[in-house]
Amino acid sequence: MFVILLTLLAYLLVGLMIGIGVWHVWLRTTVGKFQSDETMTGKTVLITGGNSGLGLETVRDLARRGARIIMASRKIDVGMKVRDEIIEETGNKNIIVRKLDLSSFQSVRDFSSEILKTEKKIDVLIHNSGCASTSKKRKSVDGLEMTMATNHYGPFLLTHLLIDLLKESTPCRILIVSSAYYKIARVDLNNLNPLDTFPFYLYYVTKTANIMFGLELAKRLKNSNITVNFINPGMCSTAIFKKVPFPLNLLVKYSFKNAKEGAQTTIMCSVSKLLQNKSGKYFSDCRETSLMNFVKDDVKNKKFWEESIKIVQLKSTDPQI
């Protein structure tokens, strides 16, 4: 009996290794790469979460293309250090850092006010920043669940406050970094401040929220010459997965995309002239792909939008979309 069990275990391990190997090959062979040499000279890009990971690689690439970049950073000291490193690497000195904590409505308002005072245009707005917690439940300063506040409500308010400047900057682009993980989560319209929900699941919920918000935004901005698109960077070995336990951490390290590979679709959607008139689309591995039907419900997306306006406490004097 013992020999049989060992044999079965050996078969299971071999099968698992083969499965991981096949998955690894599939992941590596489907990585998209943006190979265009198009420049961004004269363009201003505002990106959240540019201090590390996908955002950092996006900033690095766009800086090389000559873009003027505004890095919205929660940790201003880290942002300044990253800025100096990128200036040294690329020779592009047109990189500035502004403080922004997306989990705080006041911080979003302060940041937006500064941008409106100092900037004449924004050609590309990239909602890249995101947070995920494995188990610790946290509230924002506004009493909202932290993941929802940072990944959805902050960007939602920021977009509203900057919309007039964006309209003055047309043609321009709004990009929202989401994830294929949206497929496994649903936004509960009856519980839009889910303080008691498992935090890591809420990361997936916010990726669904990103797309619901983006689809409604694209609909409202139709014919405005502002495009809105969503990005799936793929499975990337970034800070989101830094606490994954052994041996899964090995799978993340050796099979997932690195940050540079994960940033390729964001870079393409920021730069490519071929996407000038594309809006309300979902891109993955530098290709347009389809969305699941459940996330394209116009009635639910409109309701989510209306409830989000209430939660972010948008004022009648604020810009409207």
Provide the residue-wise pLDDT of the chain in tens; the chain has 321 residues. Answer: 666 666 666 667 666 556 555 655 556 556 768 899 999 999 999 999 999 889 999 999 999 999 999 999 999 999 999 999 999 999 999 999 999 999 999 999 999 999 999 999 999 999 998 887 766 789 999 999 999 999 999 999 999 999 999 999 999 999 999 998 899 999 999 999 999 888 789 999 999 999 999 999 999 999 999 999 999 986 645 555 555 444 554 455 545 667 788 899 999 999 999 999 999 999 999 999 999 999 999 999 999 999 999 999 999 999 999
The identity of residue 162, as a single letter, is: L
Q: Would you kindly state where each structural domain of the chain is located, as residue ranges?
A: 31-311
Q: 169 by DSSP, 3-state: which? A: coil
Query: Is-cis flag, bond preceding 199, omega within 30?
Result: no
Nearest to 161 by CA among 122, 189, 131, 129: 122
Residue 268 and residue 261 in contact, taking contact as beta carbons nearer than 8 Å: no
The Cα 90–Cα 261 span in angstroms is 19
Residue 211 and residue 229 in contact, taking contact as beta carbons nearer than 8 Å: no
Q: Where are the alpha helices (DSSP H) in the chain?
A: 2-29, 53-64, 76-90, 105-118, 146-148, 154-168, 199-220, 248-255, 259-262, 264-271, 298-311
Fold of the CATH domain 31-311 = Rossmann fold (3.40.50)
List beta partners, residue 174.
Answer: 125, 228
The Cα 65–Cα 33 span in angstroms is 16
Q: Is 72 exposed, middle or buried (0-12, 13-18, 19+ CB in 10 A)?
A: buried
Marked catalytic residue, from 153, 182, 203, 204: 204
The Cα 151–Cα 157 span in angstroms is 11
Residue 200 and residue 134 in contact, taking contact as beta carbons nearer than 8 Å: yes
The Cα 121–Cα 126 span in angstroms is 14
- Produce one character per residue of 9-46: b if its CB has 16 or more CB atoms within 10 Å, e if not: eeeeeeeeeeeeeeeeeebeeeebebeeeeebeebbbb
Q: How many CA atoms lie within 13 A of 30 on its CB side?
A: 14
- Is 204 an active-site residue? yes
- Produce one character per residue of 162-186: b if its CB has 16 or more CB atoms within 10 Å, e if not: bbebbeebeebbbbbbbbbbbeebe
The identity of residue 53, as a single letter, is: G
Beta-carbon contacts of 66 under 8 Å, excluding residues fewer than 6 positions away, are: 39, 40, 41, 42, 43, 92
172 CA to centre of own chain? 18
